[in-house]
Structure 1
Amino acid sequence: MNILLTEDNALIASGVVAGLTAQGFRVMHAASAAEAEALLRTLQFDAWVLDLGLPDEDGLSLLRRLRQRGVVIPVLLLTARDSVADRVSGLQEGADDYLVKPFDLRELAARLHALLRRAAGRASSLIEHGPLRYDPVACQAFLHGQPIDLSRREQVLLQALLHNPRRVLSGEQLKDAVYGLDGEVESNALNVHIHHLRRKLGSAIVETVRGLGYRLGPAGHDEDHTP
């Protein structure tokens, strides 16, 4: 799951990035409203953790402006403002949840999982796709009830497909999901991860849509699909 963290306090930001990364999230940090807005235009994120006290623009103002523009990403506000009026104002401006500093990283992770469940219309974090089950909290995939060992990149790629089950995603969209703004990405790296997913979860799990990109296909070993 790709998370955008917008927080100007470097110490807090480094702790949140380290803590969420350890729990299976992929986190990109922006220290200002301008950086966050640029990243939201460029990359796809599953959720946004937004601090209100930013150096160049108030977080609520930024959120209001982006909501008016049609940005629908789930947003969790992270702030030291703890009055009821502040919480109500944040929710009215388009936030989906609110966490007051200081906070426990486990609670932040749990709230993010809850946001993502609601956004996907699920009551549980567990994602089921035919014989495939994926638990984003435990970072574990199961096929026919058997655990499947996936690398971190393979998990991010699988999650991107599972969160968009009927969409065709371009190669660039999948690269953004897996690598973000990492500069050193080999030209065939995405194809390597797709090959590994097909080998581990069945050759049809990633369907190639010629000229357009890729989409989620049926899971399971090849023999599971033979009549």
Structure 2
Amino acid sequence: MNSAPGTMPSILLVEDDRISATFLSAALATLPARVHVAEDCAQALAASGPFDAWLIDANLPDGSGTWLLQHLRETDAAASALAHTADATVAKRDALLRAGFADVLIKPLSAQALVDALRAALRGGSDEPHDAADWDDRAALTALAGNPEHVASVRQLFLSELPTTRSACLAAFDRSDHAALRAQLHRLQASCGFAGATALAAIASRWHAAPADRDLRAAFAAACARLLAPAS
């Protein structure tokens, strides 16, 4: 976080729709947090930071959320970045995660879901409770046309392949092969989207952006272990 310990976090909300901006800013204020609202890329880039988190609309009047994130990163490498969009397709989610967003929030969303996502982002995701958003049934059902049987079969396949993927990622990290690690994580993010493995997808996205980060390696291993643990 950019804020000093014990101080209220500062969040940049980028949203051009005034009704959505009013709802989102009111929900974020309950964290509690200081919320600065920008209507487009130009206002966001002119905003006085630093911020602890950016919540960026994927589509803005003067550019894309991806473009804006790239430019914000030029002056701040520490802020958490979340995208929000009404496009619930797996392709859109995958593109935003590849661009460096830690999570993608689908509108409309509840105030509680927004607050939970921001709290996780502000913690960095590594110390989330073990039952926090490991599986996102809504996302999986959306990706698979609302068919719960398909979700169950895809998750079974996902879990059968996860040990191999985990081993490949950890081995690539150990030999400092960042290209191989990123390739594995890229494929994993798409699989996570279909299975609804939300927490692991977010960690994989952050690790893809920082493949040498040992804390993210540990978070990745822990998230995999949680998913693979036998149901109690």
TM-score, normalised on structure 1?
0.49
Instruction: Report which of the two has the higher share of strand.
Output: 1
Instruction: Report which of the two has the higher share of helix.
Output: 2
TM-score, normalised on structure 2?
0.48
